[in-house]
Structure 1
C-alpha cells in the first residue's frame, strides 16, 4: 500500500516541480517511508495534499503550500526539537538547487517553520491553508482518529506511558485553548466541531488513565 502511495506522491511531485526534480522527489518519499515513522508517513503527506487541493482557492500561492507540505516533515526524529527548522533548511536548499526562485524557496521555508506552532497570522492565507491541512486529521471519524492516536503513540514507544500521557495532554490542551483550530472558512466549517469533540474525548481518556 505504501509503495502505491509513494508512486502517487512522486507523480504529484513531478507535476509540481517538473520531471528534472525527480531525484528530490524520490528522496522525499524515501524520508517519509523511514522505518521509525508510524504517523508522519507517506499516507499523512498524501492526506495533507488532498486537503490542500480542497482549500487551494483560499491560498495566495497553492503551489508554495504544496511544496511546504512535501517538506514539512522531511526530517523527523522523535528525540529532536528542531525537525521543522531542519526540514525548512532542506526545503530552501533543495528548491534553490532546482532553480526555483529564491522568494518562493524562502516562502516555503517560512511555511514549514510555521508548522512548529500552527499559529499563522490572520492575513497569512498560505500559512492558514498549510496549518489547516496539517491539523485536519483531528477531525477524522472515530475509527480513523483512533488509528491516528495509536500511530502517534507507536512513534513514541520508547517514552514511558505516564510521561507520554502528560506530554500528549499538554499538546492537546494547547490546541484546545486556541480560539480556532482552523483558520480558513472552509476548514473551520468542515473540521472545527468534530476536531474539538475528538480533542475533548482524548483528553478525557488521558485524564482517566492518569488518575
Structure 2
C-alpha cells in the first residue's frame, strides 16, 4: 500500500519528504481508534478488489488517489465526510503537478449516495469496490456490520436500528447495487441475501 501511494505521488512531485508527510496524515486518519470499519483494513480491502478486477480504468492514477482519500475524513456524527475528504485530497495534491483533482473530488463525493455515474465509468468502479464487502461471505459481512455498529456506538438501538434498516433497504430498492457488470455478476446476489438477512435481524 505504501509503495503504491509513493509511486503514484512520485509521478507528480519529486519531494519525497512531502509525499511522506501526506502518507503519514493518511495513516494517522485511517488508524484512528474510533474507526472499526472505515479504517486501514477497509482501504487495503478496496485496493485488493481494484487490483483483482479485470476492468481497466480510464484514469488509473486518479482512481487510486480517490481510493486512498475517499474516507480520510470519517466521523459517524457528521454528514459531510466525503466532502471533507475531497478537500483534504485537494489540499495534498495542490503542491504537486497532478491535473485531475476535480475528477477525484467528484469521485469521492459520489461515494456518499452511491449513485450511478453516466459520464465517468471510473466513478462506478470506485463505488463498486467500496461496496464489495456487501457481497462477501456471511462471516465477513457479519464482521462488517459489527464494526459499523461500533462506529455508531454513541447511538442507542432504538435510533441506530431504524436508521440502519432504512439505509440498507435503500440498496435493495435499487435495480442494481453494483454498477459494473463484473461486480454485479460477482456480488449482487450474495449482497442482496446478506442485506436482507441483516434487515430481518435488526
State the TM-score bracket (shorter-chain normalisation).
over 0.9
Q: CA RMSD in A?
A: 1.3
**Residue in structure 1 matching 2:9, options 14, 17, 34:** 17
Work out the CA distance in 2 between the residues paired with 1:106 and 1:116.
Answer: 16
Shift in Å, 1:22: 2.1
Work out the CA distance in 2 between the residues paired with 1:56 and 1:92.
Answer: 29
Q: Can you give the 5+ residue segments of structure 1 that lack an aligned partner in the other structure? A: 1-8, 207-211
Total equivalences in the alignment: 196
Q: Secondary structure at the match of 1:78?
A: coil
**Residue in structure 1 matching 2:44, options 37, 43, 46:** 46
* TM-score normalised to structure 2 length: 0.93
**Which residue pairs with 2:178 in the alignment?**
182
Shift in Å, 1:56: 6.0
- Contact (CA 8 Å) 1:58, 1:184: kept in 2 or not? no
Q: Secondary structure at the match of 2:36?
A: coil
- Contact (CA 8 Å) 1:55, 1:129: kept in 2 or not? no
1:89 lines up with 2:81 in the alignment? no
**Residue in structure 2 matching 1:145, options 141, 144, 154:** 141
Which portions of structure 1, spanning 4 or more consecutive aligned residues, are displaced by more than 6 angstroms?
none
Q: Secondary structure at the match of 2:55?
A: helix
- Contact (CA 8 Å) 1:84, 1:116: kept in 2 or not? yes
Work out the CA distance in 1 between the residues paired with 2:161 and 2:53.
Answer: 33
Q: Can you give the 5+ residue segments of structure 2 that lack an aligned partner in the other structure? A: none
Work out the CA distance in 2 between the residues paired with 1:45 and 1:72.
Answer: 9
